Chains A and B, each alone.
Chain A
């Protein structure tokens, strides 16, 4: 069997093995059996996509051309990894806590979720990465061509090369679409792909070491021999160019941080921050081993192979020239692995950026109803990813066809490096400087990009393509200091160093000036604080990953919010749907979505989202979440304050009702008491009237007796009439319906009339001071006299002294006049003083008094109507009542009107 056919067969078998590895890993991850998938070893190996075909083939070619300079490309990343505590640790922490999906996402998110920056970074990344992908296609096709040449003397034509490149590109697109866009993980982690990449990393390391070991101990005579061979080779002298040495070391360090594919494996695919600690020494070791045999292979290749053979392919051609076809095929697989792994990750990284920052915003703005149906957006995102992957690979292929595949591999790689290095100021400024703003970032990125394109990218196409030769020689518009490779009059500089210096220097200046001169929006400032102070805010973000712990924590949280029964039912149902027994379902996106909806019903959408996010993503709450939470809280607070107000109002009303009710109850009791009193008062005379009228009806008695009985009936009837009159009077007075005949009168006249009408000729001695009684009051004389008569009559009736005596004293006191009625009797007991003005209150034997007990009650009502008062004066020698009434007419009128 011909070596080429064997190669094709081995190649296909290898690809199938990769598919299998990716498939198995994906299945295990889906089951939650992560195990070794999340070991630090896999993480370290996945970082090896830094070593592309450019490393595998190009490093040897680089060494054959320029000696040791190639090693700078690996020293830069070594320094970054060794110094992980500075930058990488912070970058990974931010990436995890903010759920960063790509470097474009990081920069856009840091500067206030600016979509403009996302688009700029995405476009720059696509433009910068396309040549790199073309480079990988070229290296694969060239290596195929080497074997084809070996087999058939005629060799391969250009059409065969192009066809191979097309097939490879299509195959890679298929693999990436299959495993890179299988599901839409919010964390953007692809276990299958990463595991396959790790396998490829092992493959390329072993392949290069195998070739190296063969060269050192198979071709040469061991390490010592190799050193003497180096001294004898064309690259014996180490022609170190200080500018290039330093700037290439720094450039590779920068590119290691900013390459989209490196960001993808280093930050996005990182499952545990502690892996970084292991990778900090393990990955430099990997790079060390990859570089160790580069110089020996280059030296031996230069020695063995005829002059003019392509040094980029020494890794293949040296074993082939020694008749080691098996080793050559192994080496080919190593190169193939390098190329494919890089292309796959780069395509995933770029497609994420393109779909998130370009396709989705456009789609969402075009279809207004947008993300109402949940499955809707997922499909669109996945489709956008797939199309983006195909597009990225198509671009790479197009670049490959356009550039003709002639340029040395290293040159293309470095151009790409400088392009992505332009992200550096915005990236580092974003995570270390809170003053960095969106305007500054955009200014820096655009400045750097334009300068990169003008000084490095466009000139790389040659003097006839896009940039005319005249511009290259004489500068833009013929201005000498605008020459692409001699900006601002700088001349004699290495074009690459020139481009690195000017693009990064002006980029940084524009970034700083733009940041200092502009003022960030609130969202930007918040994000800035969160990024720069990521360790303060979120000290322990790791740990929420493994499926079981997560579901358990979710259950604990859900129980707190929904209640134990409901939460357990919900989880049990979800577990049943997933075909699992027990309470803990897998935390699939569907389940989380459902749970979030449930929680949202209880605590509001934004809070629910934030709560689930806290547990599932280990992510901190975004500003949008916080604002939504604040809105909801404000609404709730407003609502609750309204409720409070209403309940206070209800409380007041209830209190009023209670008071009114008490009054009503009191009134009802009073009314009952009054009715029973009335019936009692009415009943007593009615009983005697009925009894005596029955006696009269029966007849059989003398005239005297009849007259006596008729007199009793008459008296009782009079008493009844008086009682009813009094009741009527009282009712009228109490309702304030009384008609008062107000007029100025002399108080003495009123008292005189009252004394006369009281009928006290029998024994009550009345003492008056007539001079003092000369007071004119404005009042109703008849009513006032009624009060006086009542008081005088009472004194006559109740005064039990041997020589009853009543003193009437008049005194003007302020605006009112007081009339005191004092007798020399026993007075009224203290306990009775409070009730004497109540209706039907009679002290002692009422028959003796002959009244209904309404007199004082009526007197009090009259005095109220007259604007005055009647009170009992305690502490006198006998019973004493004080009647006071206003002198001023207005007072009387005011009282009557109110």
Chain B
């Protein structure tokens, strides 16, 4: 808000912490949307193997890809959050 005032180290740090919590809260929602995305691919009634149809092999790669990205993001966030949780009882 007040841009001219040089932010103290602690303020910047707690600002980062708040955003880490926001990200942690956002992550499952993003994950849910990403995992439900295949519903919107092509037409469900199309025969297997035809053009534009959903293929299991593609699905495997996509789903497991999203999955491992989610795990990676959770890993990064959990390291930050664990520190926050240890420092202060509740930031919210």
Contacts and interface: CB of A to CB of B under 8 A. Distances in A.
Contact of B39 (A242, A285, A535): A242
A288 interface: yes
A235 interface: yes
B89 to A, nearest CB: 2
A239 B48 contact: yes
A727 interface: no
Contacts of A240: 38-39, 41, 44, 54, 59
Contact of A79 (B28, B53, B73, B86): B28
B39 A246 contact: yes
Interface string A526-557: 00000000011011100000000000000000
Contact of B56 (A84, A236, A536): A236
Contacts of B78: 277-278, 280-281
B82 interface: yes
A230 interface: yes
A231 interface: yes
A236 B86 contact: no
A242 B36 CA distance: 8
A281 B74 contact: yes
A133 to B, nearest CB: 30
A245 B64 contact: no
A241 B44 contact: yes
Contacts of A86: 25, 28
B33 to A, nearest CB: 11
B69 to A, nearest CB: 11
B47 interface: yes
Given A81-B74, A295-B60, A237 B85 contact: no
A295 to B, nearest CB: 6
Contact of B35 (A83, A237, A249, A539): A249
Given A80-B28, A85-B21, A539 B70 contact: no
Contact of B89 (A71, A236, A535): A535
Given A79-B32, A274-B82, A227 B57 contact: yes
A749 to B, nearest CB: 104
Nearest to B22: A85
B88 A237 contact: no
B36 to A, nearest CB: 6
B92 interface: yes
A281 B92 contact: no
Given A79-B31, A277-B81, A539-B89, A238 B59 contact: yes
A231 B55 contact: yes
B24 to A, nearest CB: 4
Contacts of B70: 78, 82, 284
Interface string A259-285: 000000000000001100110110011
A68 B25 contact: no
B80 to A, nearest CB: 9
Contacts of A84: 24
Interface residues of A, number: 47
Interface in A62-80: 67-68, 71, 75, 78-80
A241 B39 CA distance: 8
A292 interface: yes
Interface residues of B, number: 48
Contacts of A80: 28
A238 B45 CA distance: 10
A679 to B, nearest CB: 90
Nearest to A80: B28
Contacts of B90: 535-536, 539
Contacts of A536: 90
Contacts of A284: 67, 70-71, 74
B88 A539 contact: yes
Interface in A280-317: 280-281, 284-285, 288, 291-292, 295
A631 to B, nearest CB: 31
Contacts of A274: 82, 85-86
Contacts of B61: 227
- Which of the listed residues A85, A239, A535 has the most CB atoms from chain B within 10 Å of its own CB? A85
Nearest to A87: B28
Nearest to B50: A237
Given A78-B31, A85-B21, A236-B57, A68 B63 contact: yes
Contacts of A246: 36, 39
A538 B64 CA distance: 39
A536 B49 CA distance: 56
B27 to A, nearest CB: 5
Contacts of A249: 32, 35-36
A236 B27 contact: no
Interface in A212-254: 227-228, 230-231, 233, 235-242, 245-246, 249
B38 A273 contact: no
A370 B86 CA distance: 43
B49 A288 contact: no
A288 B39 contact: no
B10 interface: no
A239 B59 CA distance: 11
B85 A535 contact: no
A67 B44 CA distance: 14
A236 B36 contact: no
A78 B41 CA distance: 23
B68 interface: yes
Given A231-B55, A237-B55, 4 more contacts: A231-B49, A237-B47, A249-B36, A277-B79
| Cβ-closest 10 pairs across A and B | A237-B48, A539-B89, A83-B28, A535-B90, A277-B82, A281-B74, A238-B54, A281-B75, A277-B78, A85-B24
Interface of A: 67-68, 71, 75, 78-86, 89, 227-228, 230-231, 233, 235-242, 245-246, 249, 273-274, 277-278, 280-281, 284-285, 288, 291-292, 295, 535-536, 538-540
6 contacts: A78-B71, A237-B54, A238-B55, A245-B38, A292-B64, A535-B89
